[in-house]
Amino acid sequence: MSRSDYPPGYEESGGPLYGGNYPQPPAYGFPGYGGPHPGQPSAPYPTDPNTPLYSGQPGGYPGGPYPGQPYHGGPPGAGYPTPPPMPPMMPPTIPSDVLSSGDGFAARGSGWDSVSVRHAFIRKVYLVLASQLMVTTAIVSVFTFVEPVGKYVRDNPALYWVSYAVYFITHIVLVCCSGPRRKHPWNLILLLLFTLALSYMTGTIASFYDTKVVFLAMAITAVVCICVTVFCFQTKVDFTKCQGLFCVLGIVVFVTGIISAIVLSFKYVLWLHMLYAALGTIVFTLFLAYHTQLLIGNRKYSISEDEYVFAALSLYVDIIQIFLFLLQIIGAARK
């Protein structure tokens, strides 16, 4: 076979017979090992996963936290957010030595003095309660709106635990010691320390959440408290007769809180956190109805007229706990 029987080579194909010169085609297959791809940046490659590898390539997804997620205080894209602190674990207040029988209060026709004293007692309690809620609302607003303050309390958890210790000690003293609770002005001083400590804890927890979540939790808490109060003033159901049931509910929510805190400290389990939050919301709503009827005084049991500090403390703890549990539920739902 002569050479003319073979297909022309590349050098020969560039002649006039095949239409002129053409550039040499690239080699088949992939580039050699270690050779750069066309348009690929040279090593070292970017370490940020959101940095485009090729020119014109879109970047990755924005770093968290996303709307509704608790703020974790780290740089964007630094993984899942750190869950906020648990609400203060304290069993609901169950009065023992501050109760008196009020079976005949509603039927007293000539005892207007007793009725007027009870009404003055109710006004005094709600005045103290309103002052406590105003202090808490102001602190929560500062921690939520002023970002430097919120970042400071998030970065210094030791202050949270100091306030927890103050909260625990003052709560025990006010509930268990009748002397400091009834002696003026020590009762008001202890109540002020208790309010400031719990307000700081509430503001710290709220600083981990989005502003919309905090506002929504506040609004729902206000609606729930108003509805429960109106219901207690109108209903014929006597919650004060069910002290045994409320004692069991308080123990259940307290033990559940301890178990949840231990488990969540090792591994965050969302369903366990939400179960505890839902249980706490229901139990403290029932306790709000129970303490409100004790305050009204026209049921089987009522709080003594000298225990306005104890009554305000009980209602205040119920309202704050309802807000904290609702805050966690709404914050998790908006992730």
pLDDT tens for each residue of 126-154: 999 999 999 999 999 999 999 999 899 99
Q: Express each pLDDT in 198-209 by its tens digit.
A: 999 999 999 999
C-alpha radius of gyration, the chain, whole number: 34
How far does CA 313 lie from the centroid of its chain?
A: 21
Packing angle of the helix pair 186-206, 147-155 (nearest 10 deg): 100
Give the closest residue to 295 by CA, choosing from 140, 124, 178, 132. 124
- pLDDT above 80: residue 15: no
Residue 305: predicted pLDDT: 82
Predicted structure pTM score: 0.72
Residue 297 pLDDT class (50, 70, 90 cuts): confident
- Higher-pLDDT residue of 260 and 94 is 260
DSSP 59: P
Residue 85: predicted pLDDT: 66
* Burial readout 27-52 (b: 16 or more C-beta within 10 A, e: otherwise): eeeeeeeeeeeeeeeeeeeeeeeeee
**∠ CA 33-36-40, rounded to 5°:** 140
